[in-house]
């Protein structure tokens, strides 16, 4: 993929996504008990999963789901996410709306955020909810990885929208990526070379999302963009102090990496590094206080572990009811790997725990 990109034949993410989708076509996932339809919500493609009506039941619960993939890969239509959303619809007897937001490199930040926000706001309209027989008081917003990032950012934006008549009851974030401020949290240091999502790959996803320059990767890796002399970062430093936000069992013996002198030009070139629509963990307390009841799933073998744990702590400090569901033996991305040949026990374990929480709280 990178050779094709180097030869300027195509962007490597386009090639990688093509390979993923080609492999995916070899798989077949049954959906005979769920009605699956494709629709367009305010210009954004979505896939809707509807379980059959049961008896005299009138209104159903609902989940708006935003898929992961580094804002660049996968799709609501791939079998992995199709299977997850189908099982959610069946298990919860809920209408699941899976958002097909546009991907890098076709678009970059903030377009993925805008797509997810537009589709969600469209669905939350009373007449649309009525069309799908959805209970307006029982709606969750959810997503995994980059989808968890978008779900958190959308939830924050919705909480500040004074014109909304319907708001989500819950948010459920699966190993979400929530900040690009510090690439040396304990989990980033501990799992820097962990398969599936090594640190350099996560930094590359951020650079692609922001349409930045790969030459900045090393400076980002050593936190030059948030050094003590970078004035734009000062006001955010207290919101991401992992020495106070993480429990000692996660901090272990790792030390903060805070450069005295860095490169303010990075923030000037990529201001989105401090834009809360891209990095929800940096939101102010006043916004966090408005968030709904929250579920956050984290995995020990994941560079993003501490993003989720810190967000849970900040929400809790802001008075939000939070469930932090941590899995010691699991890895980033595991929840979607439940179909042969990537059917892992970690995937079933995390998926069951996630669905159980939704069933008990939605």
Domains and CATH numbers, the chain: 1-180+273-360 (3.40.50.1820)
| pLDDT score at 288 | 98
Residue 181 in 3-state DSSP? Answer: coil
- Catalytically annotated residue among 302, 306, 307, 325: 302
β-pairing, 35-41 with 60-66? unpaired
Q: What are the distances in angstroms from CA 23 to CA 27, 238, 334, 341?
A: 8, 45, 18, 12
Question: Would you call 161 a catalytic residue per the annotation?
Answer: no
Tens of pLDDT, residue by residue, the chain (362 residues): 444 344 344 355 554 445 445 555 444 444 568 999 999 999 999 999 999 987 777 899 999 999 999 999 989 998 889 999 999 999 999 999 999 999 999 999 999 999 999 999 999 999 999 999 999 999 999 999 999 999 999 999 999 999 999 999 999 999 999 999 999 999 999 999 998 899 999 999 999 999 999 999 999 999 999 999 999 999 999 999 999 999 999 999 999 999 999 999 999 999 999 999 999 999 999 999 999 999 999 999 999 999 999 999 999 999 999 999 999 999 998 998 777 666 778 889 999 999 999 999 99
> Does residue 302 carry a catalytic annotation?
yes
Global pTM reads 0.92
User: Is the separation of the CB atoms in 296 and 176 below 8 Å?
Assistant: yes
Q: State residue 56's pLDDT score.
A: 72
pLDDT score of 14: 54
Tokens coding 135: 């209970």
Please indicate whether residue 204 is annotated as part of the active site.
no
Active-site residue, from 12, 67, 225, 332: 332
Residues 144, 63: Cα–Cα separation, whole Å: 13
> Which pLDDT value is given to residue 339?
74
Given 75, 98, 145, 187, the catalytic residue: 145
Strand partners, 65: 98, 142
């Amino acid at each position: 993929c990178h050779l094709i990109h180097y030869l300027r034949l195509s962007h490597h993410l386009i090639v990688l996504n093509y390979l993923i989708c080609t492999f995916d076509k070899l798989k077949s996932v049954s959906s005979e008990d769920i009605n699956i339809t494709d629709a367009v919500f305010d210009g954004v493609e979505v896939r809707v999963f509807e379980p059959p009506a049961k008896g005299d039941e009138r209104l159903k619960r609902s989940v708006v789901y935003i898929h992961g993939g580094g804002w660049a890969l996968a799709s609501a239509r791939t079998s992995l996410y199709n299977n997850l959303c189908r099982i959610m619809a069946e298990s919860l007897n809920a209408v699941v709306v899976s958002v097909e937001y546009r991907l890098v490199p076709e678009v970059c930040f903030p377009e993925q955020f805008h797509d997810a926000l537009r589709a969600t706001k469209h669905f939350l309209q009373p007449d649309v909810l009525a069309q799908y027989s959805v209970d307006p008081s029982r709606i969750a917003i959810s997503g995994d990885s980059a989808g968890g990032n978008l779900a958190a950012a959308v939830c924050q934006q919705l909480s500040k929208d004074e014109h909304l008549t319907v708001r989500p009851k819950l948010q459920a974030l699966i190993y979400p990526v929530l900040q690009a401020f510090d690439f040396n949290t304990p989990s980033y240091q501990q799992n820097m070379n962990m398969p599936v999502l090594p640190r350099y790959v996560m930094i590359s996803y951020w650079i692609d999302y922001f349409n930045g320059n790969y030459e900045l990767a090393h400076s980002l890796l050593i936190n030059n963009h948030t050094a003590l002399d970078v004035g734009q970062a000062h006001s955010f430093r207290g919101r991401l102090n992992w020495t106070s936000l993480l429990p000692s069992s996660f901090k272990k013996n790792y030390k903060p990496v805070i450069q005295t002198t860095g490169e303010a030009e990075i923030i000037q070139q990529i201001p989105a590094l401090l834009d809360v629509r891209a990095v929800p963990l940096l939101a102010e307390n006043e916004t966090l206080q408005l968030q709904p009841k929250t579920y956050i799933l984290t995995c020990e073998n994941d560079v993003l572990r501490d993003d989720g744990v810190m967000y849970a702590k900040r929400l809790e400090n802001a008075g939000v009811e939070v469930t932090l569901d941590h899995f010691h033996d699991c890895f980033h991305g595991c929840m979607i790997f439940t179909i042969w040949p990537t059917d892992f026990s970690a995937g079933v374990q995390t998926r069951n725990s996630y669905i159980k929480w939704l069933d008990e709280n939605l």
